[in-house]
Chain A
Amino acid sequence: MRDTALLSVRGLAKHYGAHIGCTDVTFDLFPGEVMGIVGESGSGKSTLLNCLAGHLDPDHGEVFFDTRAEGLRDTIQMSEPGRRMLGRTDWAFVHQHARDGLRMGVSAGGNVGERLMAVGARNYADIRTQAEDWLQRVEIDTTRIDDRPTTFSGGMQQRLQIARNLVTGPRLVFMDEPTGGLDVSVQARLLDLLRGLVRNMGLSAIIVTHDLAVVRLLADRLMVMKSGRVVEAGLTDQVLDDPQHPYTQLLVSSVLQV
């Protein structure tokens, strides 16, 4: 077992004026680990995710990431170009709404190829071959490679977004409600796909969701947030089956049984 954390977060805080976005967040994420962040709307889970991914500037704290190129770096102190470079190489971000993460006016192949071209790929045939390979991996018919995502269903758009993000072989994937807004049957297929990709690529992931079923299937461990603070953390099934904090007990007992 490797003992170097891929991501080390220390005392992270983000305030919106007097309001707490998130505060006092500390954790280590190890290579290959999938961590879920759950909590109700406004609990600070998306704020936290955006601070981690460099989309928001936190007010306090440190976020160390083990970069492929230069080893451990504080991504908050890092220059913006460096952070954006990470965003195209070592990191990936899967948005809840596929249209936030896709270029809707560009073909499926172009969407997948963009990250490759952004890191210097200049051979059309190679880019296209890789795009086809990734469409297959996310179960999109390769004959749709030249179609725009506007002609795709919601589930296909989400799968395309995932392909677009994973094509450069990132090491850490941030996901913001990846199954939100999808039909239940489409969700199941997407979850299974994500599980397979995470395992086969050895990805680490941080998944923000309010859906406890999603974290039970995908996440190794869990952080429960309330009012900007982490109230409980631990192994996913332990937190869900034997919750210790009053809020977690309420959250778990509020899920409808089917």
Chain B
Amino acid sequence: MTDQAYNFAYLDEQTKRMIRRAILKGLAVPGYQVPFASREMPMPYGWGTGGVQVSAAVLTPEDRFKVIDQGADDTTNAVSIRSFFERTANVETTTKTEDATVIQTRHRIPEVALSEGQILVYQVPIPEPLRFLEPRESETRKMHSLEEYGLMHVKLYEDISRHGHIATAYAYPVTVEARYVMDPSPIPKFDNPKLGDNPAIQLFGAGREQRIYALPPYTKVVSLDFEDHPFDPSKADHPCGLCGAENSYLDEVITDDAGGRMFVCSDTDYCEDRQASGHRGKDAA
């Protein structure tokens, strides 16, 4: 069997130590982007190489692992990462949010509130919130170290001047513990309120960009806004078509070529749970 040729959870121990040191540093300085020596992983950049390395570094044989991609447990990315760790770490896997001890996610925070002891690992494409306004890395590092964040509001100003409201709907920048401005990865801004004061540990891994950052439990996280244009974690104004949930984040699903569509929970586990306990939406079969 090839499985024996791998160290537990794929990465060699030296690499894990290096990544764990980066994680600990990230937890010690919430919101600060810690550089780390990202390894080649058996998947292309952009498919979660950062998240996979962080997950590999924190997994223990006793963990129960869950992977979601845009909230769903059953998409290609989620299925392949889950099977990767089943094979290389031999850990138990689950789709139940409450049962999981480590959850790797792309673009969502689960609907069910997380609890102490859980770790949420985010896959991050571009960790630098200032990148699109200031292309020079030397300059953005200086801006972070000197807390020069006026530029972040310029981005929001531009949104309002162009659209009449803050049109940034995902990867909405936040201030962590009144210090670092952080990109929460491309989660919808609907999920932003869950970042703060969360009992779980939140870890962010960017493989291609070689950065790790973190939010320890119960961290204060504030979404940037203007006094007269306050942050609004809006979502599509519909209930879920399958489970009838009023307060979950929804995906719009096109059902035919005649403009038919339905809105369903993006968190599949949450939706299935609700349906199992008898909730029904208007589009439920």
Contact = CB atoms under 8 A, between A and B. Distances in A.
A123 B226 CA distance: 5
Contacts of B227: 122-124
Interface string A79-96: 011001000100000000
Interface stretch (B145-153, B198-206, B266-274): B145-153
Interface stretch (B20-28, B157-165, B234-242): B157-165
A106 interface: yes
A114 B226 contact: no
Contacts of A109: 157, 161
A117 B133 contact: no
A213 interface: no
A58 interface: no
Given A106-B133, A124-B226, A145-B161, A119 B154 contact: no
Contacts of B62: none
Interface string A102-133: 01011101100111111100111101100000
A106 B157 CA distance: 10
B133 A103 contact: yes
Contacts of B150: 88, 114-119
Contact of A122 (B158, B162, B226): B226
Contacts of B229: 124
Contact of A103 (B146, B154, B162, B228): B154
B94 to A, nearest CB: 43
A146 interface: yes
Interface residues of B, number: 19
Contact of B146 (A80, A107, A119): A80
A125 B228 contact: yes
Interface string A137-168: 00000000110000000000000000000000
Contacts of A146: 161-162
Interface string B213-253: 00000000000011111000000000000000000000000
B124 to A, nearest CB: 23
A110 B225 CA distance: 15
Contacts of A88: 148, 150
A118 B148 CA distance: 7
A122 B226 CA distance: 5
Nearest to B153: A117
Interface string B10-45: 000000000000000000000000000000000000
A103 B157 CA distance: 14
Contacts of B146: 80-81, 84
Contact of B158 (A107, A115, A116): A107
Nearest to A113: B157
B148 A127 contact: no
Contacts of B151: 114, 117-118
Contacts of A119: 150
Interface of B: 133, 146-151, 153-154, 157-158, 160-162, 225-229
Interface of A: 80-81, 84, 88, 103, 105-107, 109-110, 113-119, 122-125, 127-128, 145-146
Which 6 pairs between the two chains have the least Cβ-Cβ distance? A118-B150, A117-B153, A124-B226, A117-B150, A81-B146, A123-B227
